[in-house]
Amino acid sequence: MAHNFAINENVLHQLQGPQGRAVVKERSIYTIVTCLPIESDGRPRYRIKSKTENVERVVTEEQISRLD
């Protein structure tokens, strides 16, 4: 499986609550910093950086979506 997002692309990130439950909060805009190697479970991972806070996260592809 290939990465579907590119470095420097802006994406929306949906925060995850305890045990994967969605948190009721607006999605935040992040920028893809780097594409990480695909792990053994086959899911592409990315390092993303918040546009509004000084926060970086590592996320799987299903946790982010394109800006509309």
Domains of the chain: total? 1
Q: Which of 28, 29, 34, 43 minimizes the C-alpha distance to 5?
A: 34
Each residue's pLDDT tens digit, 1-11: 689 999 999 99
Q: What's the CA gap between 31 and 47, in Å, rounded?
A: 9
12-41: pLDDT as tens digits:
997 766 666 665 566 789 999 999 999 899
Q: Per the domain annotation, does 14 fall within a domain?
A: yes
The model's pTM: 0.81
**pLDDT (0 to 100) of residue 14:** 78
| Within-domain flag for 2 | no
The bridge status of strand 28-36 relative to strand 56-60 is unpaired
Domain assignment present for 1? no
Looking up residue 50, the CATH number of its domain turns out to be: 2.30.30
Range of the domain at 58: 10-66
Is residue 5 situated within a structural domain? Answer: no
Residue 16 included in any domain: yes
pLDDT reported for residue 28: 87
